[in-house]
Structure 1
């Protein structure tokens, strides 16, 4: 094998080009007088492509919240200490400890997993403390007013935490809490300003529509972070990961609400869902999986698995199949779907990306 052979093989091994592109390039250069050693066999090329796909699948979505067992060990200590303090002192001493640990482990040592756990600990602290403060008004305030006051307590602590420690999850939580606050504020405005009771069956679709708008806003912000870092080398990619993790189920179940509320609120669990609703749910889940492939985010695949299982359950229950049969068939179909998409993720993504215009794909995470 010549030096050029070795250089091209090395480029394929590092994922710069694929094994098939190596062969095409060798043919192109051979036609122009370059000489090569023996070309790789088709089997070897297929193995090289399979290895490349495996590496690409591992590298395509890696949020940086764990970097080794040291992070895990420290995180175990954080969880145990905070649980013990909460049991002994409640919220009084827990917040100072969270902030002290954040100064040491996040601001100074930049540990990834502890930063996630401390952010979640702060969210838990705000949730429990806020509930303790507003709990006395639960019976006197309107439910939407009570909810608005409660959710409005989250943005400021998360904003301050992100400003100080630059944890991606904190910024994602800030965006999500602002979106949720806006959704509740809009629902309250419908009632107070327009006199529309969102609990009235005549306006039953207002809730999922408002949630859908809020979820779309979170998704748009997530995509803004995604396209600003298509190589996924910075913390912007981590922020997008957390935002997509929240946006995907919010979008899915807002759409599911539109599907099911038109039928008087029938669900999978009460056995009243219709065949058309099940078919609509399958279409929605399929679209979500397609979106996940396009943007290379698996949250859009996993968020729809429960709904997919429920839809298959409903379709089969309309037949003469026994309970045992369609339960296991639904589980098997969902499992096969997950395995198929997981194993062939990169190949499926290449097929989808090839169908899109370059003006779109150029801004997305590259398909190997």
Structure 2
């Protein structure tokens, strides 16, 4: 069957118009109960698909968007101040208007992703400027002045996160751009972390926690629960979307991809610190007994989960994190005795793992996941390709 990418290229090349494209998709699904309006492809292989680039014309239009908005930004800055709400509002309106053509009519993926990010950044700037003027904030807020903002911190956080989530949701409802799922997840996580910081701040100011370095480090360590819980929630939503669309034929599968990208660092970073006993304030690591074993088990667990749900987007940030931080400390002792730079061994280790999984992902899935999980669960997971 012809996939959606081919139909998109046909529309871009002028072979089909948008109406004919939708008619072909409706015809393809005429004998199926699947709703064509909710489907993002006609036929796709299940291999952690990310429908991000729609072809050469999509890249060409993306370059044009970069040039257009860069020129518009420099031109508007000559008329309005760089922190002007009007400037940000104009960029947001322009990104929406261009998306009406690029996303709604032409369905160009990379261009649509860029426009969605421009819109989100513009909304963020609008909210920042509004909050600054509403609460009379100075241009630069240093660390020592943050306690003075305690009474207004929660309203500011609600305005920022709530406004960004509302704007991203409205944009998604109109254009169905998957990257906005990551924007919403990050905004919600930021609000949750702010709430936790305020709770710990109140404990310090009330005398429940002494404001000395040891207690402050303990408070920050306890705050790691927030990103960990948020990461678990985001991961659960992504898995739900994957199980709901195990053939990965709709836009919700792409949303799940971005949610996995967001959830991975939120899960890995707190677990790494808890496993190694890293000092939150100075970043030094004094691994407790069995830390190396815990890190190895953590990596194995993430690999198994990524293989089970067929999501390299979950595994890639994990390998990058452990490669840059965790594995460095585990192999530095061996590197010091051989004279080989630890960074070189890190690159070799991670590179070998990435190539191995990249070249034989589905084969590895079959060898590990098939005998490990019961058939009832395998039938709900993405199919394992032969």
Range of TM-score over shorter length = 0.7 to 0.9
Instruction: Rate the CA distance shift 1:180–1:359 in 2: closer, same or farther, 3 A.
Output: farther
Instruction: Report the counterpart of residue 366 of structure 1 in structure 2.
Output: 383
Deviation at 1:266, TM superposition (A): 7.9
SS of the aligned residue for 1:153 comes to helix
Q: With structure 2 as the length reference, what TM-score do the two structures score? A: 0.71
Gaps spanning 5+ residues in structure 2: where? 1-43, 77-86
- Tell me if the contact between 1:176 and 1:218 (Cα under 8 Å) persists in the aligned partners: no
Instruction: Report the counterpart of residue 346 of structure 1 in structure 2.
Output: 362
Query: Of the candidates 97, 102, 111, which is equivalent to residue 105 of structure 1?
Result: 102
SS of the aligned residue for 1:232 comes to coil
Pick which of 250-259 and 143-152 moved more.
143-152
Partner Cα distance (1:167, 1:301) in 2: 23
Partner Cα distance (1:61, 1:124) in 2: 28
Partner Cα distance (1:311, 1:280) in 2: 11
**What's the CA shift string for 1:70-109, capped at 9, x where partnerless?**
1111111111111221222142421221111011111222
CA RMSD of the aligned region, Å?
A: 2.9
Is 1:80 aligned to 2:67, yes or no? Answer: yes
Deviation at 1:58, TM superposition (A): 7.1
Instruction: Rate the CA distance shift 1:271–1:193 in 2: closer, same or farther, 3 A.
Output: closer
Instruction: Report the counterpart of residue 164 of structure 1 in structure 2.
Output: 174
Query: Of the candidates 247, 271, 287, which is equivalent to residue 263 of structure 2?
Result: 247
Instruction: Report the counterpart of residue 227 of structure 2 in structure 1.
Output: 211
Partner Cα distance (1:279, 1:293) in 2: 21
Deviation at 1:274, TM superposition (A): 6.6
Instruction: Rate the CA distance shift 1:83–1:276 in 2: closer, same or farther, 3 A.
Output: farther
SS of the aligned residue for 1:91 comes to helix
Query: Of the candidates 307, 320, 345, which is equivalent to residue 293 of structure 1?
Result: 307
Is 1:317 aligned to 2:332, yes or no? Answer: yes
Gaps spanning 5+ residues in structure 1: where? 1-56
Which protein is bigger by CA-based radius of gyration?
1
Pick which of 126-135 and 348-357 moved more.
126-135
Is 1:281 aligned to 2:295, yes or no? Answer: yes
- Tell me if the contact between 2:220 and 2:280 (Cα under 8 Å) persists in the aligned partners: no
Deviation at 1:332, TM superposition (A): 1.1
**What's the CA shift string for 1:196-254, capped at 9, x where partnerless?**
66973333332111111111111111111100111111111111111111111211112
Pick which of 138-147 and 332-341 moved more.
138-147
Pick which of 171-180 and 294-303 moved more.
171-180
Pick which of 196-205 and 88-97 moved more.
196-205
Is 1:357 aligned to 2:380, yes or no? Answer: no
SS of the aligned residue for 2:231 comes to helix
Instruction: Report the counterpart of residue 133 of structure 1 in structure 2.
Output: 130
Instruction: Report the counterpart of residue 119 of structure 1 in structure 2.
Output: 116
Partner Cα distance (1:214, 1:188) in 2: 17
**What's the CA shift string for 1:82-138, capped at 9, x where partnerless?**
122122214242122111101111122222221111111112212333333344534
SS of the aligned residue for 1:341 comes to helix
Instruction: Report the counterpart of residue 330 of structure 1 in structure 2.
Output: 346
Instruction: Rate the CA distance shift 1:330–1:172 in 2: closer, same or farther, 3 A.
Output: closer
Partner Cα distance (1:259, 1:147) in 2: 31
Q: With structure 1 as the length reference, what TM-score do the two structures score? A: 0.75
Partner Cα distance (2:275, 2:288) in 1: 10
Instruction: Rate the CA distance shift 1:112–1:327 in 2: closer, same or farther, 3 A.
Output: closer
- Tell me if the contact between 1:266 and 1:273 (Cα under 8 Å) persists in the aligned partners: no
State the aligned residue count. 310
Pick which of 208-217 and 145-154 moved more.
145-154
Is 1:225 aligned to 2:222, yes or no? Answer: no
Instruction: Report the counterpart of residue 40 of structure 1 in structure 2.
Output: none
Query: Of the candidates 53, 56, 60, which is equivalent to residue 69 of structure 1?
Result: 56
Instruction: Rate the CA distance shift 1:185–1:270 in 2: closer, same or farther, 3 A.
Output: closer
Partner Cα distance (1:266, 1:340) in 2: 37
